[in-house]
Amino acid sequence: MKSARDLVDRLRAYQPPNTDLGQHFLIDDEMLQRMVKIAQITKDDHVLEIGPGPGTLTQHLLATGARVTAIELDDAPVLHLDEIFRGEQHSKQFILHHDDALTASWPNDITKVVANIPYQISSPLIEKLTRHLKEQTDALTHVVLMVQLEFGQRLSMNHPADVGSLGMTVALDWDVEEHHIVAPHYFSPQPAVQSQVIELRPHDREFHVDKRLVRQMIHLAFEQRRKKIRSTFKRAPRRLSRINGWHTQRWKEAIESIQDLEMLNARPEELALDDWIELARKVEKGSK
């Protein structure tokens, strides 16, 4: 197995890292191996890697015997990966797509997603993962990502200051666990921020309420997080009509019917996920 530094140096023969595309390559082999271990990858897995770049993580994934599908947007890394992993492509253990992971179709049977992602796609990637989880299959069991530290903390909401719409809506579908904090010197080129490995595991909780309504209520409330929910709910969510059967008048009638609810006097960060579920149920019931 080649060292991570060696693979990064080989890629530089094609072109320098493109920081505009968020190319900060992890060069610590021990940390790469930790990510693979957290994902609990076996030879029976089909792993999706997003933005493989020089292939530093790719070779650790392939060493498990798992099948790996990688999606890379940039031209130079595609040429580099095609050369480095030619044998694995020939045996069909490794499949490389030259595409945008946010718009490309993903295989239906992927069981794990492991990636050192460009940090600017963090939020839309979480949305894509959630759509895949709902629309495709129940095969996906683990997602392990290297993200910006601040983003990881907002996902996990382990600290009160990090409670927000991102973590709360993600919690509707995923359990989130924080792992290692990774300093800039573990990357080449070094990013200006600290990073963190985070793990997402889908849960199967049944909420008996339309999760689309819950998401829109959470987003609406956190748009003005210093205001009481009663105040922000005077107007309907902007995308309410995308939920079948919902419109502004129905929203107004629903909110009017629950004006005596003490929960409306809270600010959004004061509510736990179960509180949001209960509030959404009352809104649904009040609209009927």
Residue 138, pLDDT score: 76
What domain range is 194 assigned to? 4-202
178 and 227: one domain?
Answer: no
* Rounded distance between C-alpha atoms, residue 152 and residue 155, angstroms: 5
Pairing mode, strands 174-182 and 195-202? antiparallel
> Is the same domain home to 72 and 166?
yes
Contact between 76 and 82 (Cβ < 8 Å)? no
CA distances from 239 to 42, 215, 224, 226 (A): 41, 11, 17, 22
Prediction pTM value: 0.91
Q: Are residues 85 and 116 in the same domain?
A: yes
CA dihedral sign of residues 105, 86, 67, 176: negative
Query: For residue 18, what pLDDT is reported?
Result: 65
Query: Can you name the residues that pair with 144 across neighbouring β-strands?
Result: 114, 199
Is it true that the peptide bond before 189 is cis, omega within 30 degrees of 0? Answer: yes
Residue 4 structure tokens: 């991570």
| Claim to verify: residue 238 and residue 102 sit in the same structural domain | no
Q: Are residues 34 and 158 in the same domain?
A: yes
- Are 40 and 134 found together in one domain? yes
Number of Cβ within a 10 Å radius of residue 94: 26
Q: Looking at residue 154, what is its pLDDT?
A: 96
Q: Report pLDDT digits (tens) over 62-92.
A: 999 999 999 999 999 999 999 999 999 999 9
pLDDT on residue 235 = 95
Cross-strand partners of 68: 47, 94
Indicate if 195 and 254 belong to the same structural domain. no
Structure token digits, residue 148? 């910006």
In the predicted model, residues of the chain with pLDDT beneath 70 are 16-22, 137, 288
- By DSSP bridging, strand 142-148 and strand 94-98 are unpaired
User: In 136-205, which ranges are continuous DSSP H helix?
Assistant: 149-156, 165-170
CA-wise closest residue to 53 among 30, 103, 19, 104: 19
The predicted structure's pLDDT at residue 276: 97
CATH of the domain at 140: 3.40.50.150
Question: Which 3 state secondary structure label does DSSP give 13?
Answer: coil
Provide the pairing of β-strand 195-202 with 142-148. Answer: antiparallel
Same domain, 93 and 180: yes
Q: Are 47 and 72 in contact (CB under 8 A)?
A: no
Indicate the number of domains in the chain: 2
pLDDT at 19: 63
Phi, psi (degrees; rounded to nearest 5) at 97: -115, 130
Residues 147 and 144: their CA atoms lie apart, in Å, by 10
Asked whether residue 223 falls in the same domain as residue 112, the answer is no
Residue 263 has φ and ψ, to the nearest 5°, of: -60, -25
Residues 146 and 177 in one domain: yes
Give how far Cα 109 sits from Cα of 67, 68, 138, 202, Å: 11, 11, 9, 15
Q: Are residues 39 and 63 in the same domain?
A: yes
Q: Is 240 helix (H, G, I), strand (E, B) or coil?
A: helix
Q: Are 57 and 85 in contact (CB under 8 A)?
A: no
Tens of pLDDT, residue by residue over 155-166, are: 999 988 899 999
Q: Given CA atoms 24, 25, 30, 32 in this order, what sign does their dihedral have? A: positive
Q: Are residues 282 and 265 in the same domain?
A: yes
Examine the fold and report which residue of 185, 202, 219 is the final residue of a domain before the chain moves on.
202
